[in-house]
Structures are given as structure tokens and as C-alpha cells.
Amino acid sequence: MATFLFNDIIFGPIQSRRLGVSLGVNLLPEDYKYCTYDCLYCECGWTLQSKEKLKLHHREEISQALRNQLQKMQAEGKGPDTITFAGNGEPTIHPEFAKIIDDTIALRDEFFPQAKISVLSNATQIHRKEIIAALLKVDQNILKLDSAIDETFQLINRPKVKITVADLVDRLCVFEGKLAIQTLFVKGNYQGKHFDNTTEIELEAWMSALRKIKPQMVMIYPIDRDTPHTDLEKIGKEVMEKIGNRVREAGFNISISS
């Protein structure tokens, strides 16, 4: 199915299912996805290895692009609810990520101090102290956990780095609850294997991980856009609500998109 890439540093603002009016920041190449995961459902398509040397925008260029857009929005009297680091892959890969976050906080405070800063990350880089410190500075530190069972995790997210669910959960605990967990629920088939992260076994393991991580917020959602792998099934609203109620009853704040 057709997928898409973000073709500039700054994109939007767009109306996000979870974040409201979101002004996007893409720290990665505009012509291909650069990520430590290769998720079956990623709207940006497959993670491809470019034969060319990786070219990333410098911190100063990113800061200027964001300043220009915020100035424009201020003149129009239309501010964002959130400035969101997402884009064509994993934003924390950028070597200047921590400094870029500092720049963004300063710009947010200058133009729209009421706006939040959000980072959507797959958490593969949170073994690095500078990444942890940067994520602790943002308003919404949103980290992915699509399954707490390693076989399912490896199948759905297809990490390009050596990592297990146990590693991931341990790393997520470092934030001592100052994070949101984002989970996409999906079922389908890939390379002769069936997966469904809404089963009772999956949900028990996932809930156990949530109790260990203690996130401030849990965000759950089904696929909503085109995906690179076609043999996927969207989880219905009724199932999503049941999962949400289970999370709520366990004492967590929950955001449900359907």
C-alpha cells in the first residue's frame, strides 16, 4: 500500500489524533526513512539502507526553520498545541538531538509558551544518558511499547538493533514514570507467522510491563493510514475500548484513538 515521507524539516501543523494541533519536526532525511525499527505498520514505509552517506540537517538549520514557522504562526494568531518530534524515523538518532531540544524549548518559550513539546520515540536510544536527560526536559516523552512478549515485538517492530523486550522495559523504568507509553494494537500475518497483540496472553504481559514502568499516560491506537505490509487488520473500536477500560481500571490515565 502507498506510504509517505515528510519532505521538509518542519511540517504541518496537522490535527493529530492524540496531540491536537501538532507542528511536526523531522530531524531525518526527506527522501527515505532512517530508523532503528522497521515496523510492519509504519506510515513512512520500510526502513531502507541508503548507499549514500547519511546527510542530516544541522542544529542551526533546524532551529532557523522552526523559528521561521513559529513567527509565521504568531503573525497569523494560530499557535500549536504541541511541537512534535516525529518525521521519517527515530528522532533521537540525530547526533545533536539533545541540543536541538534545548533550542526548541527556548523557541517555544519565546513564541508560544503555552505549547507543549512532544517526542515520539521507539526508545532504542534511551541507554544514552544525554538522550534520557533531553527526554526528561520535554512535556510529553512518548515512548513505544507495542508488545511485552519478545517474539511478537520482534515480529511487529523488526528492530534493526539488538534489543529485547526485557531490555526495553528496563530502560523505560529509568524515567521513573515521567513518560507516556504508546502502543499500536494490530493483528495480521508476516512470513508465515500470525500475530495479535490483543490476545489475553499479550495483554497480561503488557499490563505487567505497564505496572513496572508506571507511565503518567498510556496512549493506545489502531492502524489508521496506509502501511508497507498489507496483511494487517485494524482493531475495532469495541476492542480498543475494552483494552482502554482495563488500563483505566488498573489506575493509569488512558488516551484511546480508534
Give the residues across from 24 on adjacent strands. 11, 84
Sketch the domain layout of the chain as residue ranges.
10-256
* Mean pLDDT rounded to a whole number for the chain: 94
Angle of CA points 78, 81, 84, to nearest 5°: 115
Q: Crossing angle, helix 237-249 and helix 200-213, to 10 degrees?
A: 40
**Average confidence (pLDDT) over 145-153:** 98
Q: What is the pLDDT of residue 54?
A: 75
Beta strands in 93-172 (DSSP E): 116-121, 140-144
| Phi, then psi, of 29 in degrees rounded to 5 | -55, 150
Q: What is the mean pLDDT of residues 77-85?
A: 95
For residue 145, the tally of other CB atoms under 10 A from its CB is 23
User: What is the pLDDT averaged over residues 194-223?
Assistant: 98
Domain 10-256: homologous superfamily in CATH: Aldolase class I (3.20.20.70)
The two counts, helices (H) then strands (E), for the chain are: 7, 10
| pLDDT tens digits for range 29-70 | 888 888 999 999 999 989 876 656 678 899 999 999 999 999
